[in-house]
């Protein structure tokens, strides 16, 4: 079985032919194969057989990259275990019991380990037949609905899926997504938002119009799955990838929120307090203003709002130094796009290294500046429970 290092080893990647052929080679080398996806049914079946002996009427629901179509050959599998309603809300003891159950089946599962103190308690284990690592939880159904949404959006246009896969590969090559870095989920939202800007994909607000709500953790997670066909363009993958980098090179992250719900940027200062939040966010006003859910974190250099949970900043763990590195990589990508031939673009993009100049290094040492909020800074910091990144980061898996 290929290792993580194998699929990211660009020295063995043979790119030949035109841009489209090279892109196909990269995707084939990086993405989970159809056969590997089908084999995961064995994992779900074994997991169900083991856990259903303890809890009847459960459902095993996969989510994450394996469901969205962005799974790689070394991707872990994430599962939500849906319990019968009468067993809700599940407490932390469920992950302990699940771990103990899996440990009884040592010929199928190994290295079962319960992480009880996490915000979302999970059990991690290795599935021997498929040689795949898996995480399961009993308390976070939101990931299932988010994965359905991403899969729907990326299936709207094959170029969307291919762009998301390549950008994920590029991010792995340059080491800015992963544990304690930007999450792959956050990066995928950036891709989707860019395509919304191009009107290639609909806003989530548009998809939620005139359909019955599906309440998950106090947020509407329903969306219309009717095929979206309002956009017709012959823009090439080469142009699309180049324009992705050009768009984020000039995006003013210090002033605007990435908002896939509206499909357009929203001013940070609009979320400084509940009263100034745009009228389209009625659920936010209710949940944060009345139900006392935590407000959207704005004390980070990037703010990427979750498409369903509008009080969640998916980029909250992206620390200042990492943002500077990402910006440098994007600027380098734009330079390559504008100066190299189409057939040399991908090769240069994957193999080029970034050398930070003195100006960039000096900028990195400066204290992080938060957005100016026109007289509401004090209220902003109180509402956001302001915490300086200089004292540490709050990492969300």
Query: CATH code for 157-321+369-383?
Result: 1.10.1410.10
**Per-residue pLDDT band at 359 (split at 50, 70, 90):** very low
For residues 265 and 358, which has the higher predicted lDDT (pLDDT)?
Answer: 265
Please, where are the H alpha helices in 79-181?
Answer: 93-103, 142-155, 158-173
Q: If pLDDT is split at 50, 70 and 90, which confidence band does 371 have?
A: low
pLDDT of the residue at 41: 95
Tell whether the model's pLDDT for residue 376 goes beyond 70: no
How would residue 185 be classed by pLDDT, with cut points 50, 70 and 90?
A: very high
Q: How confident is the model at residue 228 (pLDDT cuts 50, 70, 90)?
A: confident
CA distance 169 to 27: 8
Looking at beta carbons, which pairs linking 211-214 to residues 24 or more positions away fall under 8 Å? Answer: 214/145
pLDDT, one tens digit per residue, over 266-284 is: 999 999 999 999 999 999 9
Alpha-carbon gap, residue 43 to 55, rounded angstroms: 18
Between β-strands 77-82 and 109-115, what pairing exists: parallel, antiparallel or unpaired? Answer: unpaired
Greater pLDDT, 364 or 158:
158
- Tokens representing 344 are 């040399």
Helices (runs of H) and strands (runs of E) counted in the chain: 15, 9
Model pLDDT, residue 264: 97
Mean pLDDT of 378-382: 44
Measured in degrees and rounded to the nearest 5, phi and psi for residue 220 equal -75, 115
CB 345 within 8 A of CB 19: yes
Q: What is the reported pTM? A: 0.88
What is the torsional sign of CA 244, 248, 250, 252? positive
The rounded mean pLDDT for the chain is 88
pLDDT at 2: 64
Residue 300 makes CB contacts below 8 A (sequence gap 6+) with 313, 315, 316, 318, 389
Which residues lie closer than 8 Å to 109 by C-beta, 6 or more apart? 46, 50, 102, 103, 125, 126, 127, 128
Instruction: Specify whether the CB–CB gap between 282 and 123 falls below 8 A.
Output: no
Band (365; pLDDT cuts 50, 70, 90): very low
Residues 3-56 pLDDT 10s? 667 777 777 788 899 999 999 999 999 999 888 899 999 999 999 999 999 999
- From the list 266, 298, 273, 268, the residue with the least C-alpha distance to 288 is 273
Lowest mean pLDDT segment, chosen from 63-67, 247-251, 377-381:
377-381
pLDDT of residue 83: 94
Gyration radius of the chain over CA positions = 22
| Residue 20 tokens, joined | 């489209």
pLDDT in tens, 305-331: 999 999 999 999 999 999 999 999 999
pLDDT at 155: 95
Band of the pLDDT at 291, cuts 50, 70, 90?
Answer: confident
pLDDT band, residue 90 (cuts 50/70/90): confident
- d(C-alpha 384, C-alpha 234), whole Å: 43
Contact present, 310 and 381 (Cβ < 8 Å)? no
What tokens were used for 86? Answer: 């009468």
Percent of the chain clearing pLDDT 90 (strictly above): 76
Is-contact 81 58, C-beta < 8 A? yes
Specify the CATH architecture of the domain 34-140: 2-Layer Sandwich (3.30)
Domain boundaries, the chain: 34-140, 157-321+369-383
Q: Kindly report each contact of residues 362-367 with a partner whose C-beta sits within 8 Å and lies 24 or more positions away, as own/partner.
A: 363/324, 364/320, 364/321, 364/324
In this model, does residue 352 exceed pLDDT 70? yes
DSSP, collapsed to helix, strand or coil, labels residue 290 as coil
Is residue 354's pLDDT more than 80? no
Nearest of 188, 180, 175 to residue 317 by alpha carbon: 180
């Amino acid at each position: 079985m290929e290792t993580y290092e194998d699929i990211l080893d660009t020295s063995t990647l043979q790119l030949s032919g035109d841009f489209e052929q090279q892109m196909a080679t990269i995707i084939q080398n990086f993405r989970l194969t159809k056969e590997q996806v089908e084999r995961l049914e064995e994992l779900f079946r074994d997991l169900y057989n083991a856990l259903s002996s303890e809890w009847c009427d459960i459902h095993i629901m996969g989510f994450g990259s394996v469901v969205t179509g962005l799974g790689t050959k070394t991707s872990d599998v994430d599962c939500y275990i849906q319990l019968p309603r009468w067993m809700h809300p599940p407490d932390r003891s469920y992950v302990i019991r699940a771990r103990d159950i899996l440990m009884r089946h040592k010929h199928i599962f190994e290295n079962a380990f319960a992480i009880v103190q996490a915000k979302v308690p999970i059990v991690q284990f290795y599935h021997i037949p498929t040689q795949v690592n898996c995480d399961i939880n009993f308390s976070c159904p939101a990931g299932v609905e988010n994965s359905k949404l991403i899969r729907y959006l990326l299936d709207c246009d094959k170029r969307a899926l291919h762009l998301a896969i390549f950008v994920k590969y590029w991010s792995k090559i340059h080491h800015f997504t992963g544990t304690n870095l930007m999450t792959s989920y956050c990066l995928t939202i950036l891709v989707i938002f860019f395509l919304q800007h191009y009107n290639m994909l609909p806003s989530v607000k548009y998809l939620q119009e005139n359909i019955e709500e599906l309440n998950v953790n106090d947020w509407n997670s329903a969306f219309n799955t009717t095929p979206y066909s309002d956009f017709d363009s012959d823009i090439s993958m080469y142009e699309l990838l180049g324009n992705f980098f050009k768009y984020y090179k000039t995006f003013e992250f210090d002033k605007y929120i990435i908002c896939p719900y509206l499909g357009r940027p929203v001013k940070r200062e609009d979320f400084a307090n509940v009263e100034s939040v745009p009228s389209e966010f009625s659920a936010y006003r209710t949940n944060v203003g009345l139900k006392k859910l935590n407000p959207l974190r704005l004390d980070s250099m990037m703010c990427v709002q979750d498409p369903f949970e509008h009080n969640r900043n998916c980029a909250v763990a992206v620390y200042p130094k990492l943002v500077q590195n990402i910006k440098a990589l994007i600027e380098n990508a734009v330079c390559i796009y504008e100066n190299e031939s189409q057939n040399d673009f991908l090769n240069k993009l994957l193999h080029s290294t970034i050398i930070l100049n003195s100006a960039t290094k000096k900028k990195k040492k400066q204290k992080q500046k938060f957005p100016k909020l026109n007289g509401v800074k004090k209220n902003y910091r109180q509402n956001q429970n302001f915490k300086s990144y200089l004292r540490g980061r709050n990492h969300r898996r």
